[in-house]
A and B are shown apart, each in its own frame.
Chain A
Amino acid sequence: MAKLHELAKVIRSKNAGALLLTLDIMFDNEEAYRTVFDSGVLSPRKIASLYNLSDNQVEVIAFEVALAIKITIPRHTTAGSPGDSDVYGAQQHAPLLDLEITSG
């Protein structure tokens, strides 16, 4: 059992426009990518529970050519509106770091 941050090379978040947030998990080797992808841990249900959303608001996209997994979710506040805490959306990745990846 390993944590996601032990397997991935990049775990980042960023706005995809003012209304969406996109989380990219990138790997530097195919084995790590496969381990995480096949574990099924990065499911819409799991992400929804981490970010207080419902399953159907979460999109998980595998991007094998770049050994990456992309997750797109709605922002809770439109970027830069009063109450927003992260205008660029660059610091919303922390809940992913310690996700337990069960291999096989």
Chain B
Amino acid sequence: MRPIKIMAASGMLGYGFTEKAFNHGLSLGIDLIACDAGSADPGPYYLGSGTPFVSRIAVKRDLSLMIRGGTQEKIPVFIGSAGGSGSDKQVDWTLEIIREICNEQNIYPKVAVLRTELRPEQLVSKINLGKISPLGPIKNLNEKDANQTHKVVSMIGAEPFQQALEEGADIVIAGRSSDAAIYAALPLMRGADPGLSWHMGKIIECGAQVIEPREGQDCVIGTIYHDYFTIEPGHPDRRCTRTRVAAHTLYENPSPYELKEPSGTLITKSATFEQIDDRVVRVSGSKWEPSSTYTVKLEGVKKLGFRTVFFAGTRDPILVSGINNFIEACQTRIERDSKAIGIDKEDYMLNIKVYGKDAVMGANEPLSDHNAHEVGILVDVVANDQDTSKAVCAKARYSLLHTDFPGRMCISGNLAIPFSPSDLSAGEVYEFNIWHIMECNDPMEPVRMELIIPNDPPKVRLNG
């Protein structure tokens, strides 16, 4: 088997990379350029609203270079978890950018679009077959939960990317995808060792995290040989270190030894890491345990309502010293004042956090009896509609500003309010209600594939 060289352009599409690294990488003879574009870390809003958390300008810059490189070297370009959460809306957003690039570069690549959003009805039939189970501490999914779901995506494995290549795709743009699968798909297809392919994918998916010096995102290259793989930076003046590469499986994973993928589990327990020169680390010994059932992770959100927030500070030492009792008194007053305008306690969720006290860690804060010289107060109201959340937030603001407390001298107002308007509408609010795994009959079951030439109007539908 000839070595397979894969370049991860960046840890996140739109976070950037240097042209020097990219061009040097290309000069080494690359088989695939790929980039992960997603993460669930920014929270449920982005999946719920279909909004990207990276700017269009930044995504277009990265994609333009990747597509130009792909055309020039006649190699495929893969994007996984398009738009951040991989919902259909975010895939379409990315596709529109690709269309613009194809027009600008006057190229006609074949683009495979892999949509991975599911409909609540699809979940219900899987629930009835007992094919959905929790992934971690979350309750079992029932039919009612499925029907309350606003958006749900399945995280696909390597096989849909492989099918897209078999259909002749030059560019693959996928909805929610396993980060490692984007990079493992091609080596697996060419018969590379699965333990090495998945481990290499897992390491390069975060881009420059394994590179020193750490100067922002950049390209990283994984090369798979018969019984080991190497990791090196794209940039000729940077280096990968053994410690960084070895430590990488710690990042954002519950365990560094076992990494679950749709078709099996990567076991890194017996992996060894060697620094073979200044810039390159060699990894071997990674194992793969195929699983008997094919499972995809599901990420889903339900809509909770609308948010209004208010933020202010207090510099009054008397108020700061009794802030907990004061907040409690205000909570009671907000409830009473809201009720007086016809809004019941059940109609909204109110959270008040005191920065400078325990806002970051809540009940886990070990220093909660310390007093700062000033504190910040954040009011967060979520209700079914924007007007209700605004009304409760206004009551909260009034109450915090004017409620009396023992020893009060600052009777014209308790708060320093930093802006006008003081109450800010923060739009729709979502919550993760699905964090489960789903058994599939085959890897393409949760995927809708479409092959298009973005410069060419007629579409060819391949897979329903």
B252 engages A70 (CB within 8 Å): no
**Cα distance A28–B247 in the bound complex, in angstroms:** 11
Chain A residues with CB under 8 Å of B243's CB are 28, 66-67
Binds A, one of B39-47, B94-102, B165-173, B447-455: B39-47
Besides A14-B251, A83-B349, 11 new A-B residue pairs in contact (Cβ under 8 A), listed by A number: A17-B135, A20-B137, A22-B252, A51-B364, A61-B257, A66-B243, A68-B250, A80-B45, A82-B380, A85-B361, A94-B361
Q: Does B359 contact A (CB under 8 A)?
A: yes
Cβ-defined partner of A86 (8 Å) among B304, B360, B363: B360
B250, A91: Cβ atoms closer than 8 Å: no
Q: B359 to A85, Cβ gap below 8 A?
A: yes
Once A52-B363, A76-B362, A92-B361 are accepted as A-B contacts, the answer to whether A68 and B247 lie under 8 Å apart by CB is yes
Inside 8 A of B256's CB, which chain A residues have their CB? Answer: 61, 63, 66, 68, 70
* Whole-angstrom distance between the Cβ of B429 and the nearest chain A Cβ: 7
Q: Could you name 8 residue pairs across A and B whose Cβ atoms are closer than 8 Å?
A: A15-B41, A16-B254, A18-B44, A66-B243, A78-B435, A79-B432, A80-B431, A85-B359
Name the distance in Å between A15's Cβ and chain B's nearest Cβ.
Answer: 6
Instruction: Given A86-B360, A88-B41, decide whether A63 and B250 contact each other with a Cβ distance below 8 A.
Output: yes
**Which among A20, A67, A92 has the greatest number of chain B C-beta atoms within 10 A?**
A20
Is A24 at the interface (CB under 8 A from chain B)? yes
Interface residue count for A (Cβ, 8 Å)? 39
In Å, the complex CA distance between A63 and B43 comes to 28
- Chain A residues within 8 Å of B, Cβ to Cβ: 14-20, 22, 24, 26, 28, 50-52, 59, 61, 63, 65-68, 70, 72, 74, 76, 78-83, 85-88, 91-92, 94-95
Mask, B94-121, CB within 8 Å of A = 1, is: 0000000000000000000000000000
| B371 at the binding interface (Cβ < 8 Å) | no
Interface contact A18-B432, CB-CB below 8 Å: yes
B402–chain A nearest beta-carbon distance, Å: 26
B window 131-168: CB within 8 A of A: 135-138
| Cβ distance B275 to chain A, nearest Cβ, rounded Å | 13
The distance in angstroms between the C-alpha atoms of A62 and B351, with both chains bound, is: 37
- Chain B's closest residue to A79 (CB) is B43
Q: Is the CB of A20 within 8 A of B136?
A: yes
Nearest Cβ on chain A to B101's Cβ, whole angstroms:
31
Residues of A within 8 A of B136 (CB): 17, 19-20, 74
Write the chain A residue with the least CB distance to B305.
A82
Q: Is the CB of B364 within 8 A of A92?
A: yes
- What residues of chain B lie closer than 8 Å to A85, measured between beta carbons? 353, 359-362
The one of B247, B252, B349, B429 in contact with A66, judged by C-beta atoms closer than 8 angstroms, is: B247
B271 within 8 A of A: yes
Contacts of A28 in B (CB 8 A): 243
Q: Is the CB of B431 within 8 A of A81?
A: yes
Please report the C-alpha to C-alpha distance between residue A91 and residue B362 in the assembled complex, in whole angstroms. Answer: 12
Given the complex, which residues of A lie within 8 Å of B273, measured CB to CB? 65
Q: Is the CB of B138 within 8 A of A19?
A: yes
Whether A50 pairs with B364 at a CB distance below 8 angstroms is: yes
In the assembled complex, B255 has its CB within 8 A of some CB on chain A? yes
Residues of chain B with a CB closer than 8 A to A65's CB: 246, 271-273
Inter-chain contact A80/B432, CB cutoff 8 Å: yes
